[in-house]
Structures are given as C-alpha cells and as structure tokens.
Structure 1
C-alpha cells in the first residue's frame, strides 16, 4: 500500500514550487493503533496518516516523530500541550479550544454487535433500554456529545466495558463477554485482521447506524501550543492534503468499497 500511496501523492508534492523553510523543531505526533489509519507492526509505525505525513516531510521541511501510546494517552498528551498533532481525530467542541482542526474525511460510528437474530437497535434510547446488552468502548474515543452521553449512562447502569484498544473490544465480542460496541466499522475490521484469536468474528457482526451517531468530520488537530509559524505551515500543508482526497484513497487501498460506503466518505 505504501508505495502506491506515495505515488498517488506525487502530483501533490510537485504542485508547489516553493519549498518551506521547515518547522522550527521536530513535530510530535503520538499515535495509537487505529484500523488502517495507524498500524504498528514490530515497532514500525505506518498506515494512512503516518505515511501521508512522511510523504509531506520533503515539501514542508518538517520532521515528524510518532511515539506509540494508548489512545487515551494520545488524547491526554494533546490536551496537555505535549503533543503537536492529534490524528486521526473527530472534531469536537472541547478539542477546538486546544487546536485548529483540519478535516480530511467524513466518517460515521455505528453500533456493531454479534448477530444473534434479534431485532435491530435503531436509536440510543433503545440501546439504553436494553439493559441485558453489555457494551464495550475504547478509552479516548470521542464521537461527540450524544456519544459521550450514551457512554455516561451505560457506565451509570453498570454495563460498560472500557478497553485500551479496538483489539480488546473485539476479543470481548468474540468471547461473548460483550454484546455491542460503538465505533467505525473499518476500525473493527482492521483489528480482526490483525489478531488471530478473533478470526471469524467479522462474518458474525452486524452494523447499525443510529441518528445519534451522524456523519462527522475526521482529520487532524494542530495544537495551539505550537509556535505560530509552525501552526501556519502545518495547516497549509494539511489543508492541501485534505482537499486532494488522498486520505480517502489511502483507505481504499485497505478496504473494499462496500466496507467504506457506510462509514467513510470524501471530505
């Protein structure tokens, strides 16, 4: 995937005639395993977002560091000003106070459950009323106010599991310890591919959109803690990247069109 993605970026990298002087320091972009967005294999970081940033380095003159941390830690580092970039990230009001958001794609979280032939859950109210269903989520995931309200109520009801990553959630579903999760379908599909212990789970899952989890912008946050000139340089580069649809094309190298159509769209 990576050579093809770099080739697809060729026209973008050649489009500008002015090479930036570069960032004033190395840009810290902590990452956590996140479907095809961020892949960590044997200590090597790649995937849609790290590969795109590396491809941008010659044009921007910036160097990027990708420390690997759990998702909740990744978010905490950004909120404390210790991370310069947060990506991938859904746009939220609280994050807008800490950084500048650059949209890359639109995506939608869905209810994902093991199909046992029951009636579909079509709203958050139905999910909260079905108290026999156990729900697993990933710490640090944020799909907006309605999502946060659902998670808070599920926690209050005593039927919420919080895992550090998507693989942990997949294992709970596979073992029958949880019944439902809330996330993008591509995240779950990528986790199942990576972990032999949950092979076969994908074919047992059903995916249900609900009104409380609408289509949202996803992309990158640039920290306000960065120097103004670094913020401006990164914002310009990421805006051009987002408008080129290269992020969506990166996902298309990993997933079939039918998997993407319900959960990932162009910006």
Structure 2
C-alpha cells in the first residue's frame, strides 16, 4: 500500500490540517483551492481531499503557515473559477499561454502525454499528423486538458471535422472508448490507469490499455498557477518560493513515487 494511503486517518485529517492555520500564518488570508478528482493525484472521500497534491498542500501549510481551503468542484467549473478570478490556485495544471494571462506558473514536475487505446487489433497512430490523416479516427479528450501547442491544434482540427468526443473528466473519456465512440484518448498514462483502477465499472479495462508515444508530444512542465488577480504580490512570493523549493528539493517527485505503484511512472512523469 502506498505511503499516501497507508493510514486510513489521512482522509479524515486532511480537511482539518489544510483548513486550520498554524501559529504565525504566512499568507495574508486563507488560500482558496478548488480541486477536481484526477486519479491518484487528487481524490476525494466525500469532501475530504487526498492524493498527491493535497498532501503537498498539507506539507506547505506546515512549512509556510499558509491556510489552504480545499474544496471539490467539477473540472469544467474548476477552470472557469480560475479564469474568472474566483480561485487562488489552479493545481495541477499544465503550462499554457492562455493561462499565463490569469496566473503565474510555478513548475513542479515534467509530464508526457501518450496516445491511449483499448484495442490491440489495429496499429495505433505514431504521430498527431498520422492520427489527423485517418478520416475515421475519433479522439476522446477531457475538457480543459492541454499538452502543448501541437495537441491544442490537433484538438481544434478534430473538433472542426466532428471527430472529437469531449468529456468532463478522465472516467468519461474512458467510457467513450469502451462504448466505441472514440478510438483513443491522449493524457498521462498514470492518470488514465489510476482512474480506471478507482472506478469499479472501468477496472476490467486495465488489462486492455495500450500506451503509445506521439512524435509531437514531448516532455512538458506541469505545476501550479497562482492567480494574478486574487493574490497579492506578498502571498504570490510566499507561495512561489514554497512550491519552487518543494520541486527543487525533489519532494514533489517523491510524493509521486510514494503515491503511484512502482514502475507506473516511467515514460510519463519525471522530476524537473
């Protein structure tokens, strides 16, 4: 059993530890952090947060004195909250020029998305260009996911060609593949697999998953966005330093290794 889930008390304590300010709070006010479930990275038992990123916030709360108020929201709403200046942090998040307008990005980890299918009968495309060239190939994507300019451009093209199935979350994308509505999805393998494992109706699909690298999708940074509109410079500086130090010290990478089964991160997650 991994370190994050080793104690059954973690889920019960997480909300308390993230919401109660220690002596000498380091931020000028509580930090509002909406989160959406994302495999082993973010999970909820009711409203109680668990997983890698809530664990990171818990540690930073202890080291900085900042109070992180975590609450669960659907992923589509999560992005809208940040874009409309109703959230202080967007975490986890891939670096994106569009998001740079609203927030300051602090990288925490490097990730690489892959093409994921449930069929071994036909050869999978090895590039986005090859995927686009197959007129009957449909792709299931999660709204709000981005893996760089090449990915965004391919998604826009597939949407225009009516070959895109857009889902609210990872489980929805997996169900679209199971139902034959799309032939593949693109995301981190660890995120997809851990979501299947957590959903009883999807767990039988685990043995069918095939992961293929795509030529245009290399390693990219994933991390946290600090709202420019809601957070003052002093709080942004405190949070920037805290998140940056956790990444440089290897703590974020260690949380991933503790949270995911051995060998499951190779090829799709690595330290900065």
- TM-score w.r.t. the length of structure 2 is 0.88
Q: Is this contact kept in 1: 2:4–2:259, CA < 8 A? A: no
Partner of residue 199, structure 1: 203
- Match among 248, 254, 258 for residue 259 of structure 2: 254
- Match among 251, 254, 270 for residue 265 of structure 1: 270
Judging changes above 3 Å, is the alpha-carbon distance between structure 1 residues 79 and 158 closer, same or farther for their aligned structure 2 residues?
A: same
Partner of residue 246, structure 2: 241
Judging changes above 3 Å, is the alpha-carbon distance between structure 1 residues 60 and 115 closer, same or farther for their aligned structure 2 residues?
A: same
Partner of residue 37, structure 2: 33
1:131 Cα deviation (Å)?
2.1
In the TM superposition, 1:170-209 aligns within 5 A as 170-209=174-213
- Match among 133, 137, 141 for residue 129 of structure 1: 133
Q: Is this contact kept in 2: 1:85–1:220, CA < 8 A? A: yes
- Match among 1, 4, 13 for residue 2 of structure 1: 4
Coordinate RMSD, CA, aligned: 1.8
Alpha-carbon separation, structure 2, partners of 1:259 and 1:114: 18
In the TM superposition, 1:1-267 aligns within 5 A as 1-2=3-4, 21-225=25-229, 226-267=231-272
SS at match of 1:258: coil
SS at match of 1:30: strand
Alpha-carbon separation, structure 2, partners of 1:124 and 1:20: 51
Q: Is this contact kept in 2: 1:71–1:141, CA < 8 A? A: no
Alpha-carbon separation, structure 1, partners of 2:49 and 2:150: 32
Alpha-carbon separation, structure 2, partners of 1:40 and 1:131: 39
Alpha-carbon separation, structure 1, partners of 2:123 and 2:39: 28
Q: Is this contact kept in 1: 2:76–2:144, CA < 8 A? A: yes
What per-residue deviation string (whole Å, max 9, x for no partner) do you get for residues 113-150 of structure 1? 12232123111111111222221111111112111111
Q: Is this contact kept in 1: 2:39–2:198, CA < 8 A? A: no
Alpha-carbon separation, structure 1, partners of 2:182 and 2:214: 19
1:75 Cα deviation (Å)?
1.6
Runs of 4+ in 1 over 4 A off after TM superposition: none
Alpha-carbon separation, structure 1, partners of 2:24 and 2:182: 50
Alpha-carbon separation, structure 1, partners of 2:215 and 2:150: 10
1:238 Cα deviation (Å)?
0.8
1:53 Cα deviation (Å)?
0.5
Judging changes above 3 Å, is the alpha-carbon distance between structure 1 residues 82 and 259 closer, same or farther for their aligned structure 2 residues?
A: same
1:41 Cα deviation (Å)?
2.1
Alpha-carbon separation, structure 1, partners of 2:199 and 2:87: 29
What per-residue deviation string (whole Å, max 9, x for no partner) do you get for residues 60-94 of structure 1? 11111112112222122112221111111111122
Q: Is this contact kept in 2: 1:20–1:59, CA < 8 A? A: no
